[in-house]
């Protein structure tokens, strides 16, 4: 399916936002829309023809597996995020849809040519790569620091921020993109601990659970305080 940039919900926040309309149209001509179902893989470690993509809606995880098949979530990708290893002979990690996800996909050679043609796009992707690296490090830090409720509060707030259409405040209502098992894996906790701490956060009045994965942010300031870190 061809790209429709005019209706794209992330046209003002994705890396391509730095391009002029003419440049964006030229880039879009090389791209395609792809929709993934939850659990479907965008590309796997070792793929030599892995595409590059901008996430339009949904959520992705970047994951690695050890020799015993245990998964480690290395990063989460939210709308307007970019995935793909430029100038690499093959993909190093699996990229998997956490929810139904819509992406703008490009063959890697097409993106590499676009970076040569549009220096502003290259700079935008470099900045985004730096932001993604910092976010990934932040997720890794959550796994080994602080009490269980602090780790969970920080992760929930980060999810709320990613779900918001504004950079000024987190979303009040959103869906957790991870299962409790995946949250437990990421935070080095047990599933039972995650469930118990979610209940505690709700009893304290910081959040309210709605449905299977729905979260209402009742008191963002309290959630920040419980997390023990300054969140932006």
pLDDT for position 1: 60
Residues of the chain with CATH 1.10.10.10: 145-227
For residue range 127-172, list pLDDT tens digits in order: 988 888 888 787 777 776 778 999 999 999 989 988 887 777 889 9
CATH topology for 5-140?
Answer: Jelly Rolls (2.60.120)
CB 111 within 8 A of CB 172: no
Q: Which of 164, 157, 167 is nearest to 219 (CA)?
A: 157
Given a contact cutoff of 8 angstroms between Cβ atoms, the answer to whether 212 and 152 are in contact is no
- Residue 159 has, within 13 A of its CA and on its CB side, a CA count of 25
Statement: residue 89 has pLDDT above 80: no
Q: In what order do the strands lie in the sheet with 71-77?
A: 41-43, 94-97, 60-65, 71-77
% of the chain with per-residue pLDDT over 90: 58
Provide the pLDDT for residue 165. Answer: 78
Per the DSSP assignment, residues forming a β-bridge with 33 are 104
Res. 2 pLDDT band, cuts 50 70 90: low
Q: Which CATH number fits domain 145-227: 3.40.50.2300, 3.40.50.300, 1.10.10.10, 3.20.20.70?
A: 1.10.10.10
Two tokens, residue 148: 């269980």
Kindly list the distances between the CA atom of residue 194 and the CA atoms of 109, 128, 182, 189, 220, in Å, as whole numbers in the listed order. 43, 31, 10, 7, 19
Beta strands in 71-213 (DSSP E): 71-77, 82-83, 94-97, 101-106, 173-175, 207-210
- 100-133 pLDDT, tens per residue? 999 999 998 899 899 999 999 999 999 988 888 8
Q: Which two tokens stand for residue 174?
A: 């959103």
Q: Tokens 């869906």 sit at which residue?
A: 175
pLDDT at 58: 92
**CATH 2.60.120.10 region(s) of the chain?**
5-140
Q: What is the per-residue pLDDT for 59?
A: 93
| 208: pLDDT strictly greater than 70 | yes
């Amino acid at each position: 399916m061809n790209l429709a940039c005019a209706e794209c919900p992330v046209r003002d926040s994705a890396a391509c936002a730095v391009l002029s309309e003419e440049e964006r149209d030229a880039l879009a001509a090389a791209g395609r829309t792809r929709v993934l179902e939850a659990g479907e893989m965008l590309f796997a470690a070792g793929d030599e023809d892995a595409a590059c993509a901008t996430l339009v809606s949904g959520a992705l995880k970047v994951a690695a597996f050890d020799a015993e098949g245990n998964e480690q979530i290395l990063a989460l990708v939210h709308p307007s995020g970019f995935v793909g290893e430029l100038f690499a002979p093959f993909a190093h990690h699996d990229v998997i849809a956490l929810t139904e996800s819509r992406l703008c996909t490009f063959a890697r050679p097409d993106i590499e040519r676009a970076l040569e043609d549009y220096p502003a796009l290259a700079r935008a992707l470099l900045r985004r790569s730096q932001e993604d690296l910092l976010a990934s490090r932040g997720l890794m830090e959550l796994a080994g620091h602080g009490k269980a409720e602090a780790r969970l509060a920080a992760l929930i707030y980060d999810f709320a921020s990613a779900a918001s259409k504004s950079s000024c405040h987190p979303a009040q209502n959103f869906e957790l993109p991870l299962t409790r098992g995946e949250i437990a894996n990421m935070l080095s906790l047990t599933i039972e601990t995650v469930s118990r701490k979610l209940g505690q956060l709700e009893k304290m009045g910081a959040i309210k659970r709605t449905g299977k994965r729905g979260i209402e942010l009742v008191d963002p300031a309290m959630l920040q305080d419980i997390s023990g870190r300054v969140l932006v």
